[in-house]
Amino acid sequence: MSSTSRKTGAGIDPGGVVAFGVAVTVLVALGALWSILHLAARLDSRPAPSKNLFKLPFDLYKGTADWTPTATKVAVGVGAVVLLLLVLVLVSVMRSTGRRLPIDKADRHMAQGARLGPLRESEAKKIARRLGVTSAPGVPIGTSVKGKRTLYRSWEDVATVMAGPRVGKTTSFVIPDILAAPGAVLTTSNKSDVVAVTRVYRASVGNVWVFDPQSIVGERSTWWWNPLSYVTDEIKALRLADMFEAASHEPEAKVDPYFNPQGRDLLAYMLLAAAVAGQPLTQVYTWLTDPSDESAATYLDDHDYAMHAAALRGVITKPHEERGGIYGNAQQMASFMLNREAMAWVTPPGRGPRREFDPHAFVRSSDTLYSLSKEGQGSAGGLVAALAATICEAGEDLAKTTANGRLDVPILVVLDEAANVCRWAELPNLYSHYGSRGILISTFLQSWTQGAAVWGQSGMKKLWSAANIKVYAGGVDEVDFLTDLSKAIGDYTNNRPSVSYGKNGRSVSRQDQSELILDVADLRSMPRGRAIVLASGTRAALMRTVPWMDGPHATTVKKATAAN
C-alpha cells in the first residue's frame, strides 16, 4: 500500500466520528440562536435574554424569552450571510480540489519547501551568480505541487527525462528548454512541432539553422555541413563510423559478429581517407562499390597513415566471399549516402553559393540548430548524431580556453527522441563531463528499455546516474524500472491506529508501519501534468509540469509567431 492508496483515517471508530459531528452541529445551532436573540434584543432596545447558551432554548419554549419579528429578520440576514460564505468556501474548495490529483497526496512525504534544495530558485540563483550567467536563474522544469514555486535546473546540470508517449514531453520540457537558453541551442527531433513553435522566437536572438536531410519540415538546403570536418584523426573516423553503423539498423537487430565490426572498420578507413584527401562524403560510397579500388589506401599512405593503409589493403586482398561480406556491411552502413536529398546538406555546393556551417562559430553565438531525422530506411540519424558530437566537442574546445574551463555562456543540447535519431555511443561516458564544461545536455527517452537497446544496460545506468536532474513524466509500463524508481522515491512511516472491542470496552492502539510513498501502480498511472524529479543532493519531489503556453515566454512566442 502506498501513500496515495491508503484510506485516510483507517482504524477510526465510525460511531465516535458521528457523535463528534452531532455535538459540533448542536453547538453551532445554539451559538446561532444565542447571537440572533441577543442582536434582536439590542435592535429593539429590549432586555437581553439569558446569557446561558444551553438555557436559552428552554426559555423560548417556556415563553420567558420572546422570538420577535426583528429576530426573524436577523435570522434571515444571518442565514443569507452564512449561505453566501458557504457558497464561496464551496467554490474555493471545488477549484482547489479540481486542480489537485490523487497522486498529490504523496507530496507531503516528498521534498517540499527548503527540502527541495538545488531545485529552488534561491539556490539556482547562487549557482548562476557564481557562473556569471545573468539571463535567468536556470532552466525552469516545473512548479512545486504545494505553493506552485518554480523549480529550476541550474546552469551546470545535465538531465535525463523519461517520458512515455503523449504525456506532454514536447510542450512541457523540450520547448521550454529551448526558450530558456541563454546562448546557442542544438535540438534534435523527428517531428516538426518544435521548429514550428520556437523558430520565430529563436530567430529574434540569433541565426536559425534547420538541418532537414529527410524533409521533415520541407526546409531547402541553403547551407551545408561537412561531416568529414569532424574527422581530424583515426579515432574520430572510427567514432563517425560508429554513428553511421548505429543508425543503419534497429538497436536490437542481430548483426554478424564478424562482418559487422569489420565493415565498420572499413568504413572508418574510407572516412579517414576522404577527410585527409579533401574528398566529399559521397566519395566514400563510390570507393565501397569497387573492392579493387586502392585509391583510399593511397591517400592514407600519402598522409602518414601507413598502418591504416595496410589494414585497408588487407581487406582488399581477402578472399572474394569474405571481402564481399565486409564491403557489403560497410555499404549498408553508408546506404544513406544514396539519398540525394540528404547528400545536398553534407556535400559542397554545385551551383550557387551556400553557407558552410561552422560548429566552432556556432558555440560562440546565440544561434539555434534544429537537427531533424526519422527512423527507418535511409535514416539520416548518423548525420544527426555526428553533428551533435561535433558541436559538443567544439564547445569543449572553447571551454578549455576559458579561465575556469567552462563556457562563459552555457549551450543547451536538447536530444529529443535520442534513441531514435541520435544514437551517439559515447554519450553516457561524456555526460557529467560536458556538464562541467557548460554544455548542458538533456536526453529524452520513451522508456528505459529504449535507451538500453542503444547503449546497453550498463550504458543506460551510466546515463541515468550521471544526470544531475532525473525526471519521470509518466507513460512508462516497465515494472523493473518503476520498481527501482519507487524505491528511489522512498517510503514513509505511517502511524496506524487500530480499534478493538473486548469485555472491558473499546481500546485503541497505534503502530508505526513503513510504506512506499509511491508504488509501481501509482507511477504507472501517473496522470499528465505531474512528474517526479530526482535532483542530486535531495529527496525526490513531485512537481506540476508547465506547458510552454503557460510559461514565461508564452506571450513573446505568440506575438512573434503572429507577427511573422
**What's the predicted TM-score (pTM) here?**
0.83
> What pLDDT score was predicted for residue 22?
80
Task: Categorize the per-residue pLDDT at 329 as very low, low, confident or very high, splitting at 50, 70 and 90.
Answer: very high
Average pLDDT of the chain? 90
> What pLDDT score was predicted for residue 525?
96
Q: Is the pLDDT of residue 382 over 90?
A: yes
Q: DSSP letter string over 303-344?
A: TT-HHHHHHHHHHHTS-HHHHHHHHHHHHHHTGGGG-HHHHT
> What pLDDT score was predicted for residue 17?
67
Q: What is the DSSP letter of 7?
A: P
Task: Categorize the per-residue pLDDT at 9 as very low, low, confident or very high, splitting at 50, 70 and 90.
Answer: very low
Q: What are phi and psi of 46, to 5 degrees?
A: -110, 160
pLDDT in tens, 487-497: 999 999 887 77
> What pLDDT score was predicted for residue 95?
59
Whole-Å CA distances, 526 to 474, 475, 505, 523, 544: 5, 7, 44, 5, 12
Considering the chain, what percentage of its residues have pLDDT values greater than 90?
71
> What pLDDT score was predicted for residue 8?
46
pLDDT in tens, 389-438: 999 999 999 999 999 999 999 999 999 999 999 999 999 999 999 999 99
C-alpha cell, 342: 540528404
Q: What is the DSSP letter of 502?
A: E
Considering the chain, what percentage of its residues have pLDDT values greater than 70?
94
Q: Which of 20-24, 117-121, 504-508 has the highest mean pLDDT?
A: 117-121
